[in-house]
């Protein structure tokens, strides 16, 4: 049993896919299969069930996986300590974000972090808020930033920054308003472009409107769209109106390219959250990132969370 075999096994177990593991490790799929077969022969046990299209981990595989994570992290720590001793801090960090954090929160932070640690690189994947937890728990990603909170006993959430949604409309819509505030009764007269189900933005819209007896499904919705950027462009072109994060359209508002409104007696306010698995054993590089992140945003983490 060698380190490469363990690395391949962990990658297959995380992705539940030989092909995805091969892409991550820059190996061919036959090479990945060969490593797994040799490891199983050496240990005289089956680590992965391959009988169905979906790969599952056997009980023996789960046992090895826990040990393999510790072994690989120890190897990474050894390399990190040696490189740190020689004055070079490097490594890789995997993150997952919903659309607004990915586009409007993370870039500025990463720019400052990479200025201080230029040899640390990142993989940042996008997915809806409700899909971030599976990515974190499967260790396909170490850290996440999302716009909605789903309680889970194995995940720690920390408040990051506040966000506010505004109603944006094509320029010249001219809805009856008082200092930019419109009555909620006017909402039924508009045509909407909505985010798809699962996004933190849509969840906030749904809950806020429900609180005043408005069913989101009763509104005249012309399109359901995945991308926040696409929605903004559709509104700008005159296709309809939408509720979007104010931070994502502030520049357009400043340039007077779209109309925007608030709703009387309604506040579309949420937090963005930073999260990670309680079970995750951080590498030194990940710890360095976590320390910088909490200092940058003023987040207070318990000492246990850094172990």
Domains of the chain by residue range: 3-83, 89-160+271-306, 165-269
Residue 125: how many CB atoms within 10 A of its CB? 15
Asked if 1 and 39 touch (Cβ cutoff 8 Å), the reply is: yes
Q: Are the folds of 89-160+271-306 and 165-269 the same? A: yes
Residue 205: how many CB atoms within 10 A of its CB? 23
- pLDDT, residue 107, reads 92
Asked if 122 and 92 touch (Cβ cutoff 8 Å), the reply is: yes
- pLDDT, residue 212, reads 92
Two structure tokens written together for 38: 């040799």
Was domain 165-269 assigned CATH 1.10.1740.10? no
Q: Of 69, 62, 200, 56, nearest to 133 (Cα)?
A: 200
- pLDDT, residue 194, reads 95
- pLDDT, residue 301, reads 59
Architecture of the CATH domain 89-160+271-306: 3-Layer(aba) Sandwich (3.40)
For the CA atoms of the chain, what is the radius of gyration? 23
- pLDDT, residue 144, reads 93
CATH of 3-83, one of 3.50.50.60, 3.40.50.720, 1.10.10.10, 1.20.58.1180: 1.10.10.10
The overall pTM is greater than 0.75: no
Q: Of 151, 149, 174, nearest to 273 (Cα)?
A: 149
Taking the C-alpha atoms of residue 40 and residue 182, their distance in angstroms, rounded to an integer, is: 66
Per-residue pLDDT tens listing for the chain (307 residues): 788 888 888 888 888 888 888 888 888 888 988 988 888 888 999 999 887 678 888 999 889 988 888 888 788 777 767 766 555 677 889 999 988 888 888 999 999 999 988 988 999 988 877 788 888 988 888 999 988 888 888 898 888 888 899 999 999 998 999 999 999 999 999 999 999 887 888 989 999 999 999 999 999 999 999 889 999 999 999 999 999 999 999 999 999 999 999 999 999 998 889 999 988 878 888 888 998 998 898 886 544 444 4
- pLDDT, residue 298, reads 86
Q: Of 139, 134, 112, 137, nearest to 123 (Cα)?
A: 139
CA geometry: angle 37, 39, 43, nearest 5 deg: 120
Taking the C-alpha atoms of residue 75 and residue 197, their distance in angstroms, rounded to an integer, is: 41
Render 59-91 in DSSP notation, one character per residue. HHHHHHHHHHHHHHHHHHHHHHHHHHHTT--EE
Where b means 16+ CB within 10 Å and e means fewer, 24-39 reads bbebeeeebbebbeeb
- pLDDT, residue 305, reads 47
Instruction: Please tell me the total number of residues recorded for the chain in this structure.
Output: 307
């Amino acid at each position: 049993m060698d380190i490469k075999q363990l690395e391949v096994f962990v990658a297959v177990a995380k992705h539940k896919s030989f092909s995805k593991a091969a892409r991550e490790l820059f190996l061919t799929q036959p090479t990945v299969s060969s490593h797994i077969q040799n490891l199983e022969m050496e240990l005289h046990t089956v680590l992965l069930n391959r009988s169905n299209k979906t790969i599952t981990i056997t009980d023996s595989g789960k046992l090895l996986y826990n040990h393999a994570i510790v072994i690989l992290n120890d190897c990474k720590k050894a390399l990190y300590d040696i490189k740190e001793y020689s004055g070079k801090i490097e490594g890789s960090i995997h993150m997952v974000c919903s659309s607004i954090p990915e586009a409007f929160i993370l870039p500025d932070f990463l720019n400052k972090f990479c200025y201080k640690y230029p040899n640390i690189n990142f993989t940042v994947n996008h997915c809806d808020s409700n899909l971030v937890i599976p990515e974190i728990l499967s260790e396909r990603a170490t850290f996440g930033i999302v716009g909605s909170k789903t309680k889970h006993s194995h995940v720690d959430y920390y408040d990051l920054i506040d966000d506010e949604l505004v109603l944006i409309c094509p320029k010249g819509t001219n809805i009856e308003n008082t200092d930019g505030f419109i009555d909620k009764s006017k909402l039924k007269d508009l045509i909407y472009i909505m985010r798809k189900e699962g996004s933190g933005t849509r969840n906030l819209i749904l809950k806020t409107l429900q609180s005043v007896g408005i069913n989101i499904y009763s509104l005249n919705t012309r399109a359901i769209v995945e991308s926040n950027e696409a929605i903004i462009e559709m509104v700008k072109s005159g296709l309809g109106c939408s509720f979007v994060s104010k931070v994502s359209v502030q520049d357009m508002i400043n340039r007077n390219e779209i109309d925007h409104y608030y709703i009387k007696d309604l506040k579309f306010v949420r937090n963005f959250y930073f999260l990670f698995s309680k079970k995750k054993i951080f590498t030194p590089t990940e710890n360095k990132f976590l320390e910088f992140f909490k200092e940058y945003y003023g987040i207070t983490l318990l000492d246990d969370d850094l172990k």
